[in-house]
């Protein structure tokens, strides 16, 4: 039995223009009303995650900053993972390096982030990773398709999901995970059933147990109806 769902937001519940799929919202509410915990997982900040959780109607269990922060329920303590300082050091190195090439790096929501650094996708992530490695910093460069993130070691949506599963008292084998990007791979692999929506990257599709026939929010709905058919046949 799948007792919880962990789902990415951008590209999984939303379309290319970041418009949320209303059918996906209704499906989440059906799950929640049936006692299924729905964890929203994203590279976004805690304040964004709180807002969308309230609007959709979940209990506030979230994974933010690609696993850098997580929390069980709105009233639970916020857990912050990793050392953001090393990410800030890496960002300064990248900012200086790319400034010499005439490229300015723009941070996203710096004042609202606890664990990682996010900035606009105007550089090559592979080049950025190489620059950081030369400096000897253990920082991961992650391109989510919406922003580039700098993450401390050991941070991922999958690691945060495993910690939440322990807090909830359920094995990860009883979690359905759904995503579309490479930052979802660890979460998809750690879950009992991992699903990639049809618009997912090739690497994410390879990691999944199931790939839906439909993209974005329609793919999310397809996945939950497939695995919770009894709830959606009433």
The answer to whether 116 is a known catalytic residue is: no
- Which one-letter DSSP state was computed for residue 107? B
Catalytic residue of the set 8, 116, 143, 184: 8
Q: Which two tokens stand for residue 34?
A: 């049936």
Q: Which two tokens stand for residue 25?
A: 């919202």
CB under 8 Å, gap of 24 or more: what pairs does 87-92 form?
87/115, 87/116, 87/117, 87/139, 87/150, 87/151, 87/152, 88/117, 89/137, 90/117, 90/132, 90/135, 90/137, 90/139, 90/150, 91/117, 91/119, 91/150
State residue 181 phi and psi, 5-degree precision: -115, 170
Catalytic residues: 8
């Amino acid at each position: 039995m799948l007792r919880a769902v962990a789902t990415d937001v951008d590209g999984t519940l939303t379309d290319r223009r970041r418009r949320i799929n209303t059918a996906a919202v209704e499906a989440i509410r059906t799950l929640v009303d049936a006692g299924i915990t729905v964890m929203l997982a994203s590279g976004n900040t805690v304040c964004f995650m709180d807002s969308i959780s309230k609007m959709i109607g979940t209990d506030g269990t979230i994974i933010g900053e690609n696993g850098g922060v997580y929390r069980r329920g709105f009233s639970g303590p916020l857990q912050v993972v990793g050392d953001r300082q090393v990410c800030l050091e890496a960002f300064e190195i990248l900012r200086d390096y790319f400034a010499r090439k005439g490229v300015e790096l723009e941070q996203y929501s710096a004042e609202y982030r606890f664990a990682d650094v996010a900035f606009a996708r105007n550089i090559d992530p592979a080049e950025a990773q190489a620059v950081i490695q030369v400096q000897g910093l253990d920082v991961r460069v992650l391109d989510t398709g919406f922003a580039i993130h700098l993450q401390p070691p050991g941070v991922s949506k999958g690691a945060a999901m495993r910690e939440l599963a322990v807090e909830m008292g359920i094995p990860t084998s009883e979690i359905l995970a759904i995503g579309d990007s490479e930052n979802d791979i660890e979460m998809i692999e750690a879950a009992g059933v991992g699903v990639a929506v049809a618009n997912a990257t090739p690497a994410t599709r390879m990691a999944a147990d199931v790939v839906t026939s439909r993209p974005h929010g329609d793919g999310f709905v397809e996945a939950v109806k497939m695995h919770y058919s009894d709830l959606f046949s009433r």
